[in-house]
Amino acid sequence: MTKAGIRGLHGPRGTGSTARGAGRALVAVYAILALAATGRSVVQILDRFAEAPVAYSLSALAAVVYIVATIALVARGRTWIRVAWAAIVFELAGVLIIGTLSTFAPDLLGIDDPSPFGRQATVWSFYGAGYGLVPLLLPVLGLIWLRRRSRTNAADASAVDPTDATSGRPA
């Protein structure tokens, strides 16, 4: 596709949805992870919340963050782009912090089962090992994608905006 063709997919300036091209695959992975995290969290809370309330609460939080990230990546508009940034940064911090705690100080999370596939494992435990490290890699890809997208949107805005106040010249 020509550059113009790709830009044309992004919608009004600064508001392009991620739901095109490679972003579509990114959203797919986010959606599947959101579903998996939500399913796991619901089961843990309904079935055995008392076993590890801290870990399971974090599990629920992770699920919510993934859902928000998925929606924010699909929705159009500058606010949603900011929400997407926030959610992805939060989830990266989450997987790094909880990954470290679960590996080196599991008692702080109330976990006594060291297995990433065990009863007490959450999406972020052991850096997402129980999910093929996808929870660790995905936010990195997400941030790279958001940066590319904001650059493309910025290029669109300065290239095609005839009402650009800074230009001072007739369109």
The closest of 120, 52, 123 to 91, measured between CA atoms, is 123
Per the CB < 8 A criterion, the answer to whether 15 and 76 are in contact is yes
For position 25 contacting another protein by CB under 8 A, the verdict is yes
Site for another protein in 34-53 (CB under 8 A): 35-36, 38-40, 42-43, 46-47
Site for another protein in 100-119 (CB under 8 A): 117, 119
Please work out the total of residues on this chain that contact another protein, with binding judged by CB under 8 A: 23
Which residue in the block uniquely carries the two structure tokens 């392009």?
16
- Which amino acid belongs to residue 39? G
Helical spans, DSSP H, in the chain: 3-8, 22-48, 53-74, 78-104, 134-160
Shortest separation between residue 44's beta carbon and another protein, angstroms? 9
Three-state SS at 12: coil
Shortest separation between residue 144's beta carbon and another protein, angstroms? 16
Candidates 14, 29, 85, 110; binder of another protein (CB under 8 A) is: 29
Shortest separation between residue 29's beta carbon and another protein, angstroms? 6
For position 132 contacting another protein by CB under 8 A, the verdict is yes
**Interface with another protein by CB under 8 A: which residues?**
20-25, 27-29, 31-32, 35-36, 38-40, 42-43, 46-47, 117, 119, 132
